Amino acid sequence: MKYEYDAVVIGGGAAGLTASGIAANFGAKTMMVERDKLGGDCTWTGCIPSKTLIKAASVVHNTLQSKKYGIDISCDDFDLSELMKHVDEVRNEIYEDADRPEIFENMGIDVVQGSASFLDQHTLNIEQLDGTDRKVTSKFIFICTGSSPFVPPIPGLDRVDYLTNESLFELNNIPKSITIIGAGPIGCEMAQSFARLGLEVTVLDMADRILLNDDPELTEILKTSMENEGVTFELNVSVQKVDPIDNGTRVFFQKNDEVSSVDSDSLLVATGRRPNLEGLNLEAAGINYSKKGIEVNDSCRTSQRHIYAAGDVTGRYQLTHMSDHMAKTAVTKALLKVPFKIDKKHVPWVTFTDPELGHVGATLPDLKKSGTSFETYQFPFVKIDRAITDGNTTGLIKIYAKKWSGKILGASVVGAHAGEMISQYALAMKNGVTLRDFADTIHPYPSYGLGARRAADQWYIKNQSETLVKWIKRIFRYRGEIPDYSDPNRIV
């Protein structure tokens, strides 16, 4: 028993909270070190505030759209300070219910506020809030320090007041316009929300389409929907510089050989994330890392056998649910010595715009690159009765699967409740449920989940043999017409 602790967790965000809780549950003497508030990016500057803002914006949007439901509800001007107060109240509610230190202290975890750095492979120095240093040793160490907004070196950016996700939710008055640099998940979610709150929104991105990790056909559906709500996209552009102007900013961008500019009251930089490595002194522990993050294997172990890293700090996934999964993998592998690895084949992600956009499993480029044989099965939201009743017919389900076995290789959904629907496919893929099994499972009517099943029904439809149907017709002397099997896009 030469070490003071069995497990020390650096960071109290999604990965750190999970790692600490599981370690303590296994009977390990555990310490969790967090330099700010427990909950991390997800609770304070990421998932929770952004989804709360998205919900508020959707309430405004649905009110303004009430006539399409046969009613007319007016929407008077609203006070953004009250909206942001609501966002803060939700953040604090989550914190009080799930993240405050007392909850983890009651599990037997020592919660320390401060900044940790390595002195050697088993020793950490903790710079505490009162300015004193505390040295602790541990048998295992788990690095869960997360990530921060990446701000590119755009000329002039240091001369303007710009926002990132860390400052966005501290606004207390509403601007009339906003420019967003970055058409990834954060950029798209916030663009739509601000447009729904009445702002003039322009999104700039160097790529030729939005959400590069998602299916191009589905992202185009989402982009069109957002443009119909007033969002302006300037894609395939290079941001040249930023200048301050009266009460706002001017962003210059180049497309082909032409330079243009856009003026706005506010500027949001949503250009990705960078791992939080500063101050850890990883060299003292001999831990391999790069600017992309700490290098880990599929069990989340670093170059040191007793030191693990999980979540955004590894640079492998920037998803809260994957931070949780990686932390579970790391602690289970370290403390129980079982051969536990990250499930890389069934990683779902969702962009919570309206319509939502979700994916799980292999993408089309993945399948083409690997030379895997597959069939594509599609089903539009216009054929989902619940989507029709709700007025949410914009959407498409797309599934990649083996032709004969129906084994699901990947799935993408754009549409209402895509996040819930993609969860069905993730569960099916993880447990070897084929499209045939999926199609044979009873789903309640009318529901969006039934739409997920009807997409699976298309496996039956596309695998029906015209020859077989002719034989059935002949044997049983049926008199009906045979469907047109020559149409590869036939949907039933």
Binding-site residues for FAD: 51, 145-147, 312
Helix axes 448-462, 418-430, angle to 10 degrees: 50
Q: Where are the beta strands (DSSP E) in 343-418?
A: 349-351, 356-361, 375-380, 396-401, 408-415
CA distances from 165 to 36, 51, 362, 410 (A): 16, 12, 29, 30
Name which of 257, 159, 194, 238 is nearest 61 in CA terms: 194
CA distance 328 to 20: 10
Identify whether the C-beta of residue 408 lies closer than 8 Å to the C-beta of residue 435.
yes
Q: Where are the beta strands (DSSP E) in 152-257?
A: 177-181, 200-205, 232-235, 238-245, 248-255
Q: Find the distance separating the first CA and the last CA of the chain, reported in whole Å.
A: 66
Which residue ranges make up the annotated binding site?
A: 51, 145-147, 182-189, 272, 312
The secondary structure of residue 34, as a DSSP letter, is: E
Token pair in block for residue 303: 């170059």
Q: How many CB atoms are located within 10 Å of the residue 193 CB?
A: 24
- Find all residues with CB under 8 Å of 132, minimum gap 6, and list them: none
Residue type (1 letter), 192: Q
Q: Is the dihedral of CA 151, 152, 153, 156 positive or negative?
A: negative
Identify whether the C-beta of residue 380 lies closer than 8 Å to the C-beta of residue 491.
yes
CA distance 374 to 252: 44
Which residue ranges make up the annotated binding site for NAD(+)?
A: 182-189, 272
Token pair in block for residue 214: 């998602």
Name which of 333, 278, 326, 331 is nearest 15 in CA terms: 326
Cα–chain center distance at 29: 33
Q: Give the CA diameter of the chain.
A: 90
